[in-house]
Structure 1
Amino acid sequence: MIMRLFIQTIVWLIVMGAVLFVSAGTLAWPFAWLYLVEVGVLGLWLGVWLARHDPALLAERMSMFMQPAQSRWDKLFMLCAGIGWFGWLVLIGIDGGRLHLSDMPLWLKVCGAIGVCVCIVATRSVFRANSYAAPVVKIQAERGHKVSDSGPYAYVRHPMYTAASLYLAGTPLMLGSWWGVVCVPLMIVGLGYRAVLEERTLIDGLDGYADYAARVRYRLVPHVW
């Protein structure tokens, strides 16, 4: 499983790097290289940790983004999200790497790198509390799926989406693209939309989730939403 983790990580980094550098029209983009190194190192760190502490969850996280048990609406969402993700990277590459339309100060790029790091580190807390945090929306009856309400789940119902928001904000900041930053609110709205639909699936198919949703009032940010 560790070997598969390394292979998938390397392939993903190559794909992201190709999209960024081709759209930028150059390999001389230091922060793009730093971004790929940061994402790769921290991603492998998280994956190795999962391999030791929850290999079943790691197997779920490395599975396909289109699965038979997955909700139909989520398949469409993931398809649109994938297209949007790569389009966003192209926009960032053109802006931050090719045309240099954005004047991003160094301190904001550093803040972006910190945001990416905090996201991945915080995700470990999510995985520690929820062994059923699959990348797709489905009821994992074969794994004894049950409600997770400890750790960050005691404060918000979708802490992984909260962490992902830091990643979404940090990526264009680190890569120096204000145009990429402009897209972030729309992407976070997309996460919120998925959270609402995911909850409907969980309420219908997972015992105890309705009671959990009544106890923990907020989805992404305490006292906000």
Structure 2
Amino acid sequence: MNSEFYYQLTAILLLVSGLSISIYYRHKAQLAGKQAGDQISARAEEKTVFLILRSVFGLALWLGSMLYLINPSWMAWSQISLPPAVRWAGAIIGLTGVPLMYWVFSSLGRNVTRTTAVRKEHSLVTFGPYRYVRHPLYSVGMLNFLGFSLLSANWFIFACAVIGFAAIMARTPLEEQRLIERFGDEYRFYIERTGRYLPKL
């Protein structure tokens, strides 16, 4: 058994853990929205350019990741040479993000959405990680994929993650504007005391 097998096995653990948490809480929020008659259309609520960028690079990111998990040799064309210490550091970074992701989703509860839209029954979450950061889900997601990129030693996966995160950063002001429209001064005060992606110093 070569060392790549152990990297692959760790990557499977990382991705399956994070994906399971995400699917569980998103499905739970979607069911709650259906029961409340609160449906959200991604096409109607998100600007086309952000939707296209998120879809294209998100698909490329997940496709590249899945191909690596199934057979690393399929992504050998974009693999770079990294020392084992760096790759295992990536594993630690990524796996650290898993409990953080659980913390974020469990704090969000039914407020999880796929777009910049705000549900009718949306409540402003200011506890858990949201006490310090307004968008910890984006921060943790990037942390996970940074770890995954180092673990897989793959520049294509890293590039897709960076471009996808850049698209998210570009749409965040729109998301915050919708939250200001929904919560008014409460959200403005919240902005003053928290950081967008990292805790405020």
TM-score of the aligned structures, taking structure 1 as reference length: 0.65
Aligned residue pairs total 186
Report whether the alignment pairs 1:113 with 2:91. Answer: yes
Instruction: Say if 1:173 and 1:99 are closer, same or farther in 2 by CA, change over 3 A.
Output: same
Report the 3-state secondary structure (helix = DSSP H, G, I; strand = E; otherwise coil) of the residue aligned with 1:136: coil
RMSD: 3.6
Matched-pair contact (CA < 8 Å) for 2:94–2:148: yes
Partner of 2:107: 129
Report whether the alignment pairs 1:35 with 2:11. Answer: yes
Give the Cα–Cα distance (whole angstroms) in 2 for the partners of residues 182 and 42 of structure 1: 20
- How far the C-alpha of 1:189 sits from its partner, in A, is 2.5
Partner of 1:140: 119
- How far the C-alpha of 1:202 sits from its partner, in A, is 1.1
Partner of 1:44: 20
Task: Tell me the amino acid that sits aligned with residue 12 of structure 2.
Answer: L
- Of the candidates 177, 181, 184, which is equivalent to residue 204 of structure 1? 181
Matched-pair contact (CA < 8 Å) for 1:70–1:137: no
Give 5+ residue unaligned stretches, structure 1.
1-28
- How far the C-alpha of 1:188 sits from its partner, in A, is 3.1
Partner of 1:83: 56
Give the Cα–Cα distance (whole angstroms) in 2 for the partners of residues 138 and 58 of structure 1: 13
- How far the C-alpha of 1:160 sits from its partner, in A, is 0.8
- How far the C-alpha of 1:148 sits from its partner, in A, is 0.9
Instruction: Say if 1:117 and 1:46 are closer, same or farther in 2 by CA, change over 3 A.
Output: farther
Instruction: Say if 1:113 and 1:71 are closer, same or farther in 2 by CA, change over 3 A.
Output: farther
Q: Per-residue displacement from partner, 1:127-147 (whole Å, max 9, x unpaired)? A: 232221223222211xx2121
Give 5+ residue unaligned stretches, structure 2.
34-38
Instruction: Say if 1:33 and 1:198 are closer, same or farther in 2 by CA, change over 3 A.
Output: same
Instruction: Say if 1:114 and 1:135 are closer, same or farther in 2 by CA, change over 3 A.
Output: farther
Report whether the alignment pairs 1:57 with 2:29. Answer: yes
Give the Cα–Cα distance (whole angstroms) in 2 for the partners of residues 113 and 59 of structure 1: 33
Q: Per-residue displacement from partner, 1:147-177 (whole Å, max 9, x unpaired)? A: 1111111111111111112022112111112
Give the Cα–Cα distance (whole angstroms) in 1 for the partners of residues 62 and 28 of structure 2: 31
Give the Cα–Cα distance (whole angstroms) in 2 for the partners of residues 221 and 97 of structure 1: 32
Q: Per-residue displacement from partner, 1:167-196 (whole Å, max 9, x unpaired)? A: 221121111124543555444332222222
1 or 2 for the larger relative contact order (CA 8 Å, sep ≥6)? 2
- Of the candidates 161, 166, 179, which is equivalent to residue 143 of structure 2? 166
Matched-pair identity in %:
18
Which deviates more, 181-190 or 191-200? 181-190
Q: Per-residue displacement from partner, 1:96-130 (whole Å, max 9, x unpaired)? A: 83236511121222222222222221122112322
TM-score of the aligned structures, taking structure 2 as reference length: 0.72
Give the Cα–Cα distance (whole angstroms) in 1 for the partners of residues 49 and 10 of structure 2: 32
- Of the candidates 74, 77, 83, which is equivalent to residue 99 of structure 1? 77
- How far the C-alpha of 1:85 sits from its partner, in A, is 2.7
Report the 3-state secondary structure (helix = DSSP H, G, I; strand = E; otherwise coil) of the residue aligned with 1:130: helix
